[in-house]
Amino acid sequence: MKKEILLEKVSEKSKVKPPIAKKVIRSLIQAIGESIQSGDKVTLTGLGTFRIKTRKSKVARNLQTGEVLQLPTGKKISFKPSLSFKRLLKT
């Protein structure tokens, strides 16, 4: 689903005008991003938890040249769906 379709559905279900729904969705995404960036985890009951995970450094190989590379540690965003959200997908 694209953001525009999500916007329409949120606007329709919450009975607010699309510009207001657009501001709410943007604010939600921005708030989640800022919280994660500061190191906090964000838990939305019924949806799941967003947090930052650290990847370990590892040795990799360039398949074309055979060169061995050392990949540095890094960060990635992780999302773990809640149990109730998982149940929605099963039905």
* Degrees, nearest 5: CA angle 62-68-74: 85
What is the reported pTM?
Answer: 0.73
Which residue from 43, 74, 41, 45 is spatially nearest to 57, judged by alpha carbons? 74
Domains observed in the chain? 3-90 (4.10.520.10)
Q: Which amino acid is at 76?
A: K
Can you tell me the mean pLDDT for 30-37? 94
For 43-53, what is each residue's pLDDT tens digit? 999 999 999 99
- Report the SS3 class of residue 87: helix
Is the distance from CB of 79 to CB of 50 less than 8 angstroms? yes
Query: For the chain, what percent of residues have pLDDT higher than 90?
Result: 89
Is the distance from CB of 42 to CB of 49 less than 8 angstroms? yes
pLDDT at 91 over 80: no
Average pLDDT over the chain, rounded to an integer? 92
Is the distance from CB of 25 to CB of 14 less than 8 angstroms? no
> According to the model, what pLDDT value does residue 90 have?
81
